[in-house]
Amino acid sequence: MGSRVMALLLLLCVSSAWPAQAADEAGENGAKTTLTSGKRYINLGQKWGSRSPLMHTKANLTELTSIKSSFELRTLDPEGVVFYGDTQGGADWFVLGLRGGVPEMQIGKGNTLISVAGGPKLNDGTWHQVELRSEGIYVILQVDGIDVLVVGLHSKCDNCNLEGQIRLSLGGILVKELELLNPLQTEMDGCVREGNWLNLSTPWETDEELQPCFTEIQKGSYFPGTGLVLFNSSDFTTQQTEESELEVKIEGHSSAWKGTVLSLKTPQGDSILNMTAQEQTKELTVIFGTQTSTLKLGPQSLALNLSQNEIKVEFGPQQLVMLDEVTQSWPTMWNEGLILAFGGVPDESDPIYLKGCLSLIQINGQDVDLDRALYKHNTISSHGCPA
């Protein structure tokens, strides 16, 4: 791949000339399309469960005059797609993402696939300056003024593919079948700002109502009171012994919680357990079958422990022990599959969705990544809470 073609593939663009305010227009399918500038704050974590991007644009290759792009990125998410670009209708493509918090670039050109990762971890919740530039046959990724990745890919066809369009996207990919060398979790809970990209006047398009970025962030998962997250409990299996015990641990500013924190249902939809934070009384209501109990909200960790025939809820020194009338192994039922929900009760007629920050969610000592759920409402921030 020649230097100019490499630049077209790798240096994606937003408009620095487009007005900061958004303009609306009707898309071809009747959906409302918003045109917006890439210099604004853009919350990438708004489209869960789809590889399609949050925002996209396209331009004729002949319009490109710059070979350098830069933006600022802030995230606590260890994995996801930041942006994508392609030419030849997706035959040649480029992806920049994070894996384990470390920048990763992947390139597809003909039958050649390249994946390279390195540099500092960027998921520390602070703003980082990211720059991509082309120098000859090399593309260089710079982070906070230091070159951290250099990729070289040379083609004998130095001036090929200079016609047609380049397609660009943020927070996702545009092709249906993208054969990555290393599969990457698409969802990225993060924000970009101050895009200063290839010298195009083309705006970004989105069908989503863009949500603002938090002014400051801290570790955790933020539930704004509009939806829930669903898992199959069998995704978190436990070893089976007579002393088997499974623990779900939750931390956060519980005095500020309002709504359902956690619920468990059978695959048939029968309710097993429901824990709801009451804002006025500062209590956690725990419903198990016909039993209803309360615990005082406080700074301690909330732990749900399931053993052979017992469910135990601990909130600091407070403890509830609930025995089932029919002896059964809760770890066995867990491994076979229960509906585990955070932030609400699925299929409830009048749901009381959680509003608040869960700074930690663990199952058997392992952090839970909400982006890997069976379902997550788009308004829930998987990896960041307002500080």
- Taking CB atoms within 8 Å and a gap of at least 24, the contacts of 305-314 are 305/245, 305/246, 305/247, 306/245, 306/246, 306/247, 306/330, 306/331, 306/334, 307/243, 307/244, 307/245, 307/246, 307/331, 308/242, 308/244, 311/273, 313/275, 313/286
262 & 193 share domain: no
Q: What's the mean pLDDT when you consider all of the chain?
A: 83
Q: What is the pLDDT of residue 259?
A: 97
Q: What is the pLDDT of residue 195?
A: 84
In sequence order, what are the residues at sequence separation of 6 or more whose Cβ sits closer than 8 angstroms to the Cβ of residue 111? Answer: none
What the block records as the tokens of 87 is: 């030419």
Q: What is the mean pLDDT of residues 78-94?
A: 88
Judged by average pLDDT, the poorest of 10-24, 72-86, 318-332 is 10-24
Q: What is the pLDDT of residue 373?
A: 95
- Distance (Å, rounded) from C-alpha 180 to C-alpha 114? 9
Nearest one of 11, 333, 53, 94 to 207, comparing CA atoms: 53
What the block records as the tokens of 248 is: 């779900």
> CB of 354 within 8 A of CB of 342?
yes
346 & 228 share domain: yes
**Percentage of residues in the chain having pLDDT higher than 90:** 46
**Is the torsion defined by CA of 124, 130, 134, 140 positive or negative?**
negative
170 & 245 share domain: no
117 & 198 share domain: yes
311 & 177 share domain: no
Indicate the residue among 196, 213, 230 that finishes a domain: 213
- Domains held by the chain: number: 2
Query: DSSP class of residue 381?
Result: B
186 & 243 share domain: no
Indicate the residue among 186, 213, 240 that finishes a domain: 213
- Distance (Å, rounded) from C-alpha 239 to C-alpha 254? 31
Q: Is the pLDDT of residue 240 over 70?
A: no
43 & 93 share domain: yes
Strands 80-87 and 165-170: antiparallel
289 & 357 share domain: yes
- Taking CB atoms within 8 Å and a gap of at least 24, the contacts of 3-6 are 3/134, 3/135, 3/136, 3/137, 3/158, 4/67, 4/134, 4/158, 4/159, 4/162, 5/87, 5/92, 5/155, 5/158, 5/159, 5/160, 5/161, 5/162, 6/134, 6/137, 6/138, 6/139, 6/153
226 & 269 share domain: yes
Q: What is the mean pLDDT of residues 16-45?
A: 58
Q: Which helix (H) or strand (E) holds 94?
A: strand 92-99
Nearest one of 143, 100, 295, 30 to 286, comparing CA atoms: 295
The residue type found at 21 is Q
Per-position DSSP letters for 315-342, written without gaps between them: ETTEEEEEE-SS---HHHHHHH--EEEE
Owner of token pair 């076979």: 336
Judged by average pLDDT, the poorest of 217-231, 269-283, 310-324 is 310-324
- Distance (Å, rounded) from C-alpha 45 to C-alpha 125? 14
Q: What is the pLDDT of residue 83?
A: 86
Q: Which residue has the higher pLDDT, 301 or 223?
A: 223
Rounded to the nearest 5°, which phi and psi values hold at 354? -70, 135
> Where is mean pLDDT largest: 24-38, 199-213, 226-240, 366-380?
366-380
Rounded to the nearest 5°, which phi and psi values hold at 145? 85, 5
- Read off the CATH number of the domain in which 272 is found: 2.60.120.200
How would residue 25 be classed by pLDDT, with cut points 50, 70 and 90?
very low
> CB of 214 within 8 A of CB of 45?
no
Indicate the residue among 178, 213, 248 that finishes a domain: 213
Distance of alpha carbon 55 from the chain centroid: 15
Q: What is the pLDDT of residue 162?
A: 63
Nearest one of 358, 334, 328, 337 to 246, comparing CA atoms: 334
Q: What is the pLDDT of residue 237?
A: 77
Q: Which helix (H) or strand (E) holds 131?
A: strand 128-135
176 & 230 share domain: no
pTM comes to: 0.85
233 & 169 share domain: no
How would residue 227 be classed by pLDDT, with cut points 50, 70 and 90?
very high
Structural domain range at position 203: 3-213
How would residue 340 be classed by pLDDT, with cut points 50, 70 and 90?
very high
33 & 65 share domain: yes
